[in-house]
Amino acid sequence: IEMQSDHTLEEVGKQFDVTRERIRQIEAKAIRKLKHPSRSDKLRTYLDNL
């Protein structure tokens, strides 16, 4: 996702009306999923072809 600037967990939380802790949990879960071998292999292949 291309964005113009970085955002704090609090800023993202306000945008989606959830706490910054919930945003942190979602971020951690997404990173865990991306690190899983079945997903990371697909992601690596995709990024190599950019």
Residues 6 or more apart in contact with residue 43 via CB below 8 angstroms: 34
The domains of the chain are located at: 9-48
Contact 13, 26 (CB under 8 A): no
For residue 17, the 8-state DSSP code is T
User: pLDDT tens per residue, the chain (50 residues)?
Assistant: 566 788 999 999 999 999 999 999 999 999 999 899 888 888 889 989 98
The answer to whether the predicted template modeling score (pTM) of the entire model surpasses 0.75 is no
Pairwise CA distance, residues 47 & 42, whole Å: 9
